[in-house]
Structure 1
Amino acid sequence: MQRHIIMMFDEYQSKETAKHVLRGMQENARQGYFNGSKAPFGYQTIGVGQTGAHGRIKKKLAVLESEARTVRMIFELYVNGIDSPRMGIKSIAKRLNAEGITIRGKQWQIQTIHQILSSSTYAGTHVFNQKDSKTQKIKDEAEWIKTSGAAIISQELFDKATKLRDAWSPLKCVPQREASPNMLMGLLKCGHCGCSMSVVTGKAGRYKYYKCNGRMRKGDAACPSKNFPLEKIDSLVLKAFTETVYTPQHIRAIIDDLRTSLAKNKDPNNLIRLKKLETELKETEAAQAKLFEAVEKGFLELDDQLRERARQHKETRQTLLTEIATLKRQHNTPLQVLTPQKVEAVSKILIKRLSTPSPYTRAYLKATLKEIRITDEHLKLSGTNTSMAG
């Protein structure tokens, strides 16, 4: 009995202590101080001269530029692409590892990239008390403590990354759409009952048809739809798409909207930042060249410390090149030289590429369309204006 009583008091005391500690950390967060021992990648902690209850110096987050460049690179690759189309999380991790860019000496993993893309800290909003420390479950948003801090990327770029991650979530993405070789799988839905359409074969596999899943599961009485020849429907979808979206008139309208948007959002500080980055690049390359020269002439011995220094120079150079390319792309978008003749030529090329089913066509439809509804008389293509313009 005595043992049980002591254990009960110990448990009670432990819970009370935890409550007091959490309360203190919450108040610390509300005042804008950082509670963790290790700063997120892209940041460093700096003492602010104020002492806590136990004599500890309070800290705040500050941008660590050498790491922040990599963070910007990750968001740009995921949202816009830099020297190639936008990349997925796995491809970004592979690229960073291939270029020798590390996360504090370690290789990048998919989960690490996902955590960075998910963290609002990089857009200037740090969130504390978001997860339960024991169960790791997300708490009710009313319990979160949000504070403003130093931002590495813009809120607009972070919002775009969030929308992309949500759109490609396994809970929202149709598995058939990703795995099936058929062009419209996962997109095509029955216009009568709303069920997805699957591919069935006839005449010993010589012919393929789209058939309503509801009719297959419940019988012909459940849905009045019929089977639709696969090749004919694929052809009709591509024809409708090319005749509506990629006409010269529609492309010119998209370009005019883009010009207006770029003129509105162009930041005059980008040119100043670009010159600063180019200066940093020259200094980094000069330091790298001096290091190599010293090793070649025998003034320095190539040991582990020197190898690490060379790796840091290489990593800094690569992130600078990436950020410079991003700023140049944003500033020098060649919309002004797109004459009506060039627009018409682009329209013809796109229509030609989208005229027959192919991996390119399938990838484009998957990224552009939300769904296609089909009945005996109508074929309706749906998607957001933004994605269809992109």
Structure 2
Amino acid sequence: GIIEVMDEFFSANLAQDVIRGMKENAMRGHFTGGKPPYGFRIEKVKDEHKLRSTLVPETTLAPVAKRAFNMAISGKGIKEIAKGFNNDGIITATGKKWTSTGIHSLLTNEVYTGTLVWGKRSNIQPIRIENAWPAIVDRETFLKVQAILKSRAPKIIHPRRAVSDYLLSGIIKCGVCGKAMSGHSAKSGKFFYYRCSNATKRGPSECPGHWIPKSKIEGFIVDRIRSYILTEENLLELASIVNEEIDASMNSVMERQETLELQISDADSRLEHLYDALEKGSFSSDELAPRIRKLQERKNGLLEKKCEIAVEAQPNFLEMPELKVIQGYVENLSSFLASSSIVEKRGFLKSFVNEIIVVDGMITINYRLPMPPENSEEENIAVLPFIQHGRPYRSRTCDTLIKS
């Protein structure tokens, strides 16, 4: 109908106008919007009777950006540069500490040579304008730094492939600083470890960053899940807990359904009034189109939520199985955990485990459901001293502290 056509027209034209305006600004060598890169500030300049934005070096921050390039030229690595900035109390534009990622982004951004690049990440032909604003570093320095970074760059591995090798990715966290632990290799990929990502990015001054052998921690967690969760008693109790949770949530689902019905009815009533006004000529289509579009979007969103809740409202109660069936479940799940792929194992673990926190000789497992018989969602376990201090296969000592 006319309303749908109007909606499409306004949406398409708005998107095209925004892109056209940004492209025109870029072709004229003007800053296209957003926060200015570190070391620059935005300054308004007149161009054909219009005020447009450009970048100029910021008095106090530009020397810091230049210092990063000079440190890279002198042989400092990006981690060392970040550490130096943090030790000197230099913060990022957002008020945070520097990381190796932030330093790398700064050193690889052509904006510091006075070059404007727009459209690089879109399907539009990129626009590149040199000398668009005053440079903080010359092109020769910039190219030298790129060559240095390229020579030091490790072999690139697709993130999904790298992550897939580590069973506890996204689950395991450092108990010292609370950051996620990530996987690392040593000795040309012969040995694998988990380490605090905060310690890796910012150094041991931020977090001790113990090295934990991958095979030991993963084996321990899998054995713990198999012996602690996959038991006949636990599976029966879990089925009972799930049914109780479903029963408690049904009342909430019904209340949400009633609220949505009222909101949808209200949106329909408002739309009907606007359509009547449009047909009677009380208002022009230009005046009513924005309000109609906004109401229609709201109604569509409410209808989507209604469909989602309808699925939730379906009966989901679990029939309590016989003991023999439960025994079969235990055997099948244990076999699955032992022989399935790393992706399947991780999905299985995440269905039961919210997070694993490691600190010193203690592992805390936070479960997604209360675990019988204590019905606790947290388990603290004293483990063998396989947490290591220092980089693997250099000077290190085992942690002899075991909490019990």
- TM-score by length of structure 1 reads 0.37
Instruction: Point out the structure with max Rg over C-alpha.
Output: 2
Considering fraction of residues, name the structure with more helix. 1
TM-score by length of 2: 0.36
